[in-house]
């Protein structure tokens, strides 16, 4: 479903049925404006929230914990470098 109109229509039907929708994306800043341009009422129907970058200690934990849970060790330098990429 690459067409913003199709996504807006699908989300609108879901909202009418009072079903929960959670959409997360990274680097999709244009999506909010495309939704708004596609459907005039989209900004009223949906709660668009912007979440900024995680603070470095939290970002480190977000990278390290799932790896640690799988018993994978990552050097601190590698975690620091991953944060620069993210």
For residue 81, pLDDT beyond 70: yes
> What pLDDT, on a 0 to 100 scale, did the predictor assign at position 47?
66
Q: What is the DSSP string of the chain?
A: ---HHHHHHHHHHHHHTT-------SS-HHHHHHHHHH-TTHHHHS------PPPHHHHHHHHHHHHHHTT----HHHHHHHHHH-
> What pLDDT, on a 0 to 100 scale, did the predictor assign at position 63?
87
> What pLDDT, on a 0 to 100 scale, did the predictor assign at position 34?
64
For residue 86, pLDDT beyond 90: no
What would the pLDDT profile of 19-47 be if each residue is shown by its tens digit? 877 666 655 566 666 665 555 555 566 66
This prediction has a pTM of 0.43
């Amino acid at each position: 479903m690459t067409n913003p109109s199709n996504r807006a229509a699908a989300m609108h039907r879901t909202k009418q049925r009072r079903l929960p929708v959670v959409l997360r994306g990274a680097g999709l800043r244009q999506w909010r404006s495309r939704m708004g341009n596609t459907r005039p009422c989209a900004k009223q129907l949906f709660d668009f929230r912007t979440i900024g970058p995680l603070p470095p200690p939290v970002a480190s934990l977000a990278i390290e914990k799932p790896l640690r849970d799988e018993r994978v060790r990552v050097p601190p330098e590698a975690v620091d470098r991953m944060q620069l990429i993210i």
